[in-house]
Structure 1
Amino acid sequence: MNNLFETGRAHQRGSIEVVCGSMFSGKTEELIRRLRRAKIAGLRVEIFKPSIDTRYDDVQVVSHDHNTILSTPVDNSSNILLLASEVDVIGIDEAQFFDERLPEVVEALADQGIRVIIAGLDLDFKRKPFGPMATLCAIADSVDKIHAICVECGSWANYSYRLVSGEQQVMLGEAAEYSPLCRTCYLKHTHPND
């Protein structure tokens, strides 16, 4: 308890918020929106992303709509603990690419009175839980699952269908490599004879 009083966070309540969904659902857009609102409120904000995510920029978090916010790229989740000091709110983008220690890290931060906002893919292209996201959803104070629009039928899309070959779980890509599909359209592509 003394640590909370020493850091001036005794009045703050830490929390873990997860924003998840398929590719092109607006997860990063929502993360940026929440972080900007925290900055407007005068809160001290720090944003982290995995250093492997260099699709749009090496240090900026960039949404598909090209909205940006400056971030600190890190190689592993433990670095977030080392770099997060004197902050009220921490944003973490592309959480699925982090190691399995990320849930432990964000719980430690929330226990210190920090609001942690996380965005990431909950499922990979095979519809399997992606990295630490299932655990993050389980320990979160709130989870918002948002949806893209199925590019084939216009329904809500839950899945990131991979358009290119490759079996590795982690493959950075955009519209040329992935498309958002609903359950019916996803099954049409993955089980065409059913």
Structure 2
Amino acid sequence: MYNRWGGIDVSGKLTVITGPMYSGKTTELLSFVEIYRLGRKKVAVFKPKIDNRYHSTKIVSHSGDGVEAFTVERPEEMWKYIDEETRGVFVDEVQFFSRDLFDVVRELLNRGIDVFCAGLDLTHKQNPFETTAMLLSLADTVIKKKAVCQRCGEYSATLTLKIAGGEEEIDVGGQEKYIAVCRDCYNALKK
């Protein structure tokens, strides 16, 4: 199969950035957006409609950096914003999307588009987020982030602990509901 320049088509690459809350996943994703834009590559940036914590139409890190994004409810809606010139697709908070995101990402890769996804790997109950787990299985590169434990202060937090609200595992929130902790502090605080 040959591309529009007469060369052999090359599949896209999937990079998944994962870890607990406050580990810099979105910041890392935004750095890749910047790299593609500096390289004058057309990008499409997406966020789930459910996540309006900091802004309704921007992906925003906890530090306040951000970029405009298409807000979608279902992964299939992304196709409206992607064309043959798109070289990079960036998706934040993948844990809030349905498992249909896997099929969309796989098709993007087959079309030669690089995809970068960021999201939580585990719920506050240490259960895997299904969509994130599926994307990890497809990834060419996985960037596993850690955070500073908000209890002991060590740079070893790999878990998110819910400190307010109910027990539901899909519950959008920030510092008012969640903290990042290491496994020892998680176990101590859960007792």
TM category, shorter: over 0.9
For 1:111, the aligned partner's letter is: N
Q: Distance in 2 between matches of 1:114 and 1:166?
A: 39
Query: Cα RMSD between the aligned structures?
Result: 1.6
Alpha carbons 2:165, 2:177 under 8 Å: kept: no
2:145 and 2:39 map into 1 onto residues whose CA distance is: 25
Provide closer, same or farther for how the CA distance between residues 152 and 45 of structure 1 changes in structure 2, counting only shifts above 3 A: same
Could you say what secondary structure the match of 1:64 adopts?
coil
Following superposition of structure 1 onto structure 2, how do residues 56-75 of structure 1 map, counting pairs within 5 Å? 56-75=54-73
Report the 3-state secondary structure (helix = DSSP H, G, I; strand = E; otherwise coil) of the residue aligned with 2:86: coil
Where 2:187 maps in the other structure, the secondary structure is helix
Is 1:84 matched with 2:104? no
- Seq. identity, %: 34
**Per-residue Cα deviation, 1:32-84 (whole angstroms, up to 9, x for no partner):** 00110110011111100101111011100000000011100001111113321
1:6 offset after TM fit, Å?
4.4
Aligned 1:142-153 pairs, distance under 5 A: 142-153=141-152
Task: Supply the distance in 2 between the matched residues of 1:180 and 1:39 (Cα, whole angstroms).
Answer: 31
Aligned partner letter, 1:22: P
Q: Distance in 2 between matches of 1:102 and 1:109?
A: 10
**CA contact under 8 A between 2:41 and 2:87: conserved in structure 1?**
yes
Structure 1 contact 9–112 (Cα < 8 Å) conserved: no
Q: Cα offset for 1:9?
A: 8.6
Any conservation in 2 of the 1:81–1:109 contact (CA below 8 Å)? no
What's the counterpart of residue 140 of structure 2?
Answer: 141
The Cα of 1:168 is off from its aligned counterpart by 1.4
Structure 1: runs of 5+ lacking an equivalent: none
Aligned partners of 1:161 and 1:11: how far apart in 2? 44
User: Which one-letter code corresponds to 1:148 in the other structure?
Assistant: A
Runs of 4+ in 1 over 6 A off after TM superposition: none
Q: Which amino acid aligns with 1:179?
A: I
Q: State the alpha-carbon separation in 2 of the partners of residues 46 and 15 from structure 1.
A: 15
> Which residue number in structure 1 is paired with residue 169 of structure 2?
169
Conservation of the 8 A alpha-carbon contact between 1:152 and 1:185: yes
- Tell me the matched-pair count: 189
Q: Is the 8 A contact 1:122 1:129 kept in 2?
A: yes
User: Quick check: 1:150–1:181 contact (8 Å CA) kept in 2?
Assistant: yes
* TM-score normalised by length of structure 1: 0.92
Separation of aligned partners in 1, 2:180 and 2:144: 14
* 2:93 aligned with 1:114: no
Selected match of 1:17 from 11, 15, 19? 15
TM-score of the aligned structures, taking structure 2 as reference length: 0.94
2:44–2:81 CA contact under 8 A, matched in 1: no
Amino acid of the residue matched to residue 80 of structure 1? M
| 1:125 CA drift (Å) | 0.5
Judged with a 3 Å threshold, the aligned counterparts in structure 2 of structure 1 residues 9 and 72 are, in CA distance, closer, same or farther, namely farther
